[in-house]
A and B are shown apart, each in its own frame.
Chain A
């Protein structure tokens, strides 16, 4: 069955450092991959979408890579700030809807 795995352990980093989150998938051949941010008590908010023929996508301090050979996406936040603390979800298309990973919690400390 299709599976999406994200680091279950929370990632703690110091302000100013680069945070790197991993999303691995199996039994999938997605054409697109999406990343969302979710704050406690709120709904997911879309961040970035990357296509299978794109190796890398950037948006301000965010960078996403997509390696269809490794079946992996990496999500980077450069010059991290305490306001970046949240849970980050990766999602792949699955039929009509999205299939989400469980998310990785990021804590950026001053």
Chain B
């Protein structure tokens, strides 16, 4: 039973480039959540997706950031024209249904994004 898989584990980009982070949820899970963890900060919710739908993107910056979860394939978090402040660890979590409060979320080991 594979857990949540994220790749790459480490990603280095120069300012102005694009970063693409991928997340494959646990088998049987159709709900995906992206979180960002800045140094010395807690995990902050960014976006919640179900297959082919963005349900809640209230935590995601309006510009440069986008997310998708296509019918086939992994969920993608895309950051365009990266800036130094985007350097962080990005975590993906999945769950089998939308009832977040009374069930655990299963996390991947994250992608560490570094902007030069």
Contact = CB atoms under 8 A, between A and B. Distances in A.
B102 interface: yes
Interface in A77-110: 89, 93-103
A97 B41 contact: no
Contact of A46 (B100, B106, B109): B106
A100 B108 CA distance: 16
A42 interface: yes
A43 B102 contact: no
Interface of A: 4, 30-32, 34, 41-46, 49, 51, 89, 93-103
A43 B91 contact: yes
29 contacts: A4-B42, A31-B102, A32-B101, A32-B102, A34-B104, A42-B110, A43-B91, A43-B93, A43-B110, A44-B43, A44-B91, A44-B107, A45-B107, A46-B104, A93-B100, A93-B101, A95-B56, A95-B58, A96-B48, A96-B56, A96-B100, A97-B100, A98-B105, A100-B35, A100-B42, A100-B43, A100-B44, A102-B40, A102-B42
Interface residues of B, number: 28
A93 B109 CA distance: 21
Contacts of A42: 109-110
Given A94-B45, A97-B48, A49 B56 contact: no
A98 B93 CA distance: 10
Contacts of B108: 43
Interface of B: 4, 33, 35, 40-45, 48, 55-56, 58-59, 91, 93, 98, 100-110
Contacts of A43: 4, 91, 93, 107-110
Given A97-B33, A98-B43, A100-B44, 4 more contacts: A42-B110, A43-B109, A89-B42, A101-B42
Contacts of B100: 93, 96-98
Contacts of B58: 95
A42 B91 CA distance: 9
**Residue from the set B43, B44, B59 with the largest chain A CB neighbour count within 10 Å:** B43
A96 B102 contact: no
